[in-house]
Amino acid sequence: MSPITSTLANSSAYGYRSFAAAAAGAYESIATATGNGSSGTITFSSIPSTYTSLQIRFMTFHSAVGQTNITFNGVGGTSYARHCLVGDATSSPYTNNEFNQAAGQVAGNAYGGSTTFPNVGIIDIDDYTSTTKNKTVRAISGVDTNSSSSEIGLYSSVFMNTSAITSLSLVRPGVFNSGTVISLYGIKGA
């Protein structure tokens, strides 16, 4: 066994986990929401505490330019820090980090008003039931509009709160248009 493998295998002793892909069949559908053009917020509530991690897979269509954010348990204020690395069709990649924010960020803001080009992505939320740790979020998302509005981004956020997550909301300016599909999955423990 190599030292790296050994370190990862014992990483839980130091409060870290290996982020290997979940085994086939490890994902269970919890709920799916769709956009109808009437709201810019989609909320999943009463999330069961029977999983190790959560994953959100999304395909969204937006009515306005602006980033997609995530909040937990209805908490806003200054409870989030967030970071991103984003590349678009016309400029050099850029990074950003913000502290004391009202939400985490999970998708970019390069375009809006589209019913043609979806923003797609995956969001992972680990250890969501822990009552001793702040919660971390990582996401990858992007959109290809065949124009300068195309972008892809890597996002990470921390919810600076040790409460277990029982609800979450995806929020953006304008509304989630028809065609939007957001699915929440639970990931079983090993």
What's the CA gap between 61 and 178, in Å, rounded?
Answer: 7
Q: Give 133-160 as a DSSP string.
A: S-EEEEEEEEE--SSTT-EEEEEEEEE-
Overall size of the chain counted in residues: 190
Each residue's pLDDT, cut to its tens digit, for the chain (190 residues) gives 333 322 333 333 334 444 445 555 689 999 999 999 999 999 999 999 999 999 999 999 987 888 999 999 999 999 999 999 998 877 788 899 999 999 999 998 766 666 778 889 999 999 999 999 999 999 999 988 777 678 899 999 999 999 999 999 999 988 999 999 999 999 987 5
For residue 173, give the 3-state DSSP assignment: coil
Give residue-wise pLDDT tens across range 122-134.
999 999 999 999 9
- Ordered by start, the domain boundaries in the chain are 49-187
Q: Could you tell me the pTM of the whole model?
A: 0.84
For residue 84, give the 3-state DSSP assignment: strand
Alpha helices in 20-148 (DSSP H): none
Angle at 126 between CA 120 and CA 129, to 5 degrees: 125
Alpha helices in the chain (DSSP H): 3-9
Letter for the amino acid at 13?
A: A
Answer whether 99's CB lies under 8 Å from 133's CB.
no
Letter for the amino acid at 171?
A: V
Give residue-wise pLDDT tens across range 13-25.
334 444 445 555 6
Angle at 99 between CA 97 and CA 102, to 5 degrees: 115
What's the CA gap between 121 and 141, in Å, rounded?
Answer: 4
Answer whether 107's CB lies under 8 Å from 60's CB.
yes
